[in-house]
Structure 1
């Protein structure tokens, strides 16, 4: 079960780095999870760093042994994103959304992100190291950040981040248990239903050009189908930027 065992670390460079080291030492089983009170070098997508005041927010990594083929990697990302969305929307309400591919948003503001790193042995997908960071109790953010939001800002309440992390693990576990080939289409449908901007015109940026587009689909391999005028673009991760008003 995800979150069993559940370890609390006072400080660590990155929970993903820590979990990866335990995997490489052969000291970890499926579902083992590490929660950090403080990260000194938290990692985000495409090399971005994740910063948080000690004890304020959820910063955790869980180690999974996916019973999936390498070609089905995106479905694990879908399950993890849905689990995080299930958790966050239970407190933040139905304006919580998933931003492709797996950020957690509330309205047009970012509440958290997910970084999944894989361990392969030949062509065998041995482990997935799933790191999740969610803004829980941060009252104010640096002006340099474009559009962040925390659960405290949404609800006006402060929360016990460790208790909420256990709840998050339960949500992740429920979604992970749905990862069966016969249910992929249903999971992908739920993912698209939770997706921000799905079938709505909005602004995007690609190769320096800002344009209006409409998300029409997400394919099972994770590619985003973005309608641009009369063209349908199929985009991989990092190939398009969502434009949000500050």
Structure 2
């Protein structure tokens, strides 16, 4: 904060008709032109210049706030989102994000879903991985046929996170396709496909019902055997 004497000098020069640039030049850069403009505006508005505290907004990112964020994010078992944390600490979400990113060096990650394995299962998987690296040759990998099926229904695909409609209000958004309607039991088909190193098989479309072991043997297996022999020869492995 500048001294009271310097403020009085600036006001006196302003009353003499000097511009902010001229005042700044006379003071040889002791006070910036922007600061002089702010002081002059304050004097015109309130009739006096009283700077008991530095002008501008005060920062809320204090050491105490950083410790509170650490307490809530890292030490408490019950986790809070950045929005709820900002509300509980009575600060803006931007401040909370700056504390998390700049002061704590943390990033936000979503939880991933993974199989719940026992120690025995983990050891078996590890042992199988070692065996596969030593015994599975590249030529054998090229003869593996990967199989999968997917159901497609008439409701289509809807991504709640990324499918957005831009409109000035909710009503216009709904009119412009902002509602994705779904039926309770949508009609659809099951599509099966096989993929290997040398290409893909023909798709098999199951129109009525679902795939069970008998339909798999009757409708899918013949296509699999015929196409895979054409792609990889007589020796291949189902995955």
Q: TM-score range by the shorter chain?
A: under 0.3
Higher strand share: 1
| Greater RCO, CA 8 A, separation 6+ | 1
TM-score scaled by length of structure 2: 0.21
Structure ranking higher in helix proportion: 2
